[in-house]
Amino acid sequence: MASGLSIAVVGATGAAGQTTLRILEERKFPVRELRAFASERSVGKTVTFRGEPVTIQRVEPAAFKGVDIAFCSAGSAQSKEYAPMIVKAGATVIDKSNAFRMDPAVPLVVPEINAHAARSHRGILACPNCTTIVTVMPLKPLHDAGRLTRVIATSFQAVSGAGVNGIAELREQTLAWARGEAMVARHFPHQIAFNLVPAIDRIGPDGYTAEEMKLVNETRKILEAPGLPVAPTTVRVPVFTSHSISVTAETEVKITAGRARDLFARFPGLKLWDDPAQHRYPMPIAVEGQDDCFVGRIREDLSSPNGLSFWVVGDQLRKGAATNAVQIAELLLHS
Active site residues: 130, 243
How far is 250 from 118, CA to CA, in rounded Å?
Answer: 28
**8 Å CB contact between 34 and 49:** yes
Query: Facing residues of 53 across strands?
Result: 48
Contacts of 47 (CB under 8 A, 6+ apart): 12, 13, 17, 18, 21, 36, 53, 54, 56
Parallel, antiparallel or unpaired: strands 307-314 and 270-272: unpaired
**8 Å CB contact between 38 and 56:** yes
Our measurement of the distance from residue 333's CA atom to the centroid of its chain's CA atoms, rounded to an integer in Å, reads 21
How far is 54 from 72, CA to CA, in rounded Å?
Answer: 17
Query: Facing residues of 231 across strands?
Result: 152
SS3 233: strand
SS3 170: helix
Alpha helices in 12-57 (DSSP H): 15-26
Q: How many residues does the chain have?
A: 335
Give, for 249, the enclosing helix (H) or strand (E).
strand 243-251
Query: Facing residues of 200 across strands?
Result: none
